[in-house]
Amino acid sequence: MVMRRMTNILLIIFKRVKEMRSRISTLRLIGFIEGVSFLVLLLIAMPLKYYLDLPLAVKITGWIHGVLFMLYILAVLMAIKPMKWNLLWVLIALGASLIPLGTFVLDRSLKRRESELVMAS
């Protein structure tokens, strides 16, 4: 009876840690892809549009980046509870997507915070 109860408790803890890690990992992955798409938009598509008169490059890349940006916002909102963020951290995470390389800088703190939370669980 005691062994079964302890097993159930361990399974619940494992499930919560796994769920927390998956939301944080999803945020980190989407943040990386969104950051890359932002750099492609700024460093490749925009010069193609203005120097080589290829506006289609910005149209396609901008559309892809826009979808990834919306996914990033959703991932930030889904990570609030597992990351135990206050409003300031939510605004920082959202603001990171507006600055070139911002999501890459944020990823370092996300990785550190993720390991802290896993060790605390």
Q: Using 50, 70 and 90 to split pLDDT, how confident is the model at 26?
A: confident
pTM above 0.85, yes or no: no
Residue ranges per structural domain of the chain: 20-120
Neighbours of 54 (CB within 10 A): 13
Rounded to 10 deg, the angle between the 102-120 and 87-96 helix axes is 140
Beta strands in the chain (DSSP E): none
Q: Is the pLDDT of residue 13 over 60?
A: no
Secondary structure letter of residue 99 according to DSSP: S
What local confidence, expressed as pLDDT, does residue 15 receive?
Answer: 61
pLDDT in tens, 45-101: 999 999 999 999 999 999 999 999 999 999 999 899 888 889 999 999 999 999 999
| Whole-number average pLDDT of the chain | 85
Say how far apart CA 84 and CA 117 lie, in whole Å: 9
Neighbouring residues of 54: CB distance < 8 A, sequence distance ≥ 6: 48
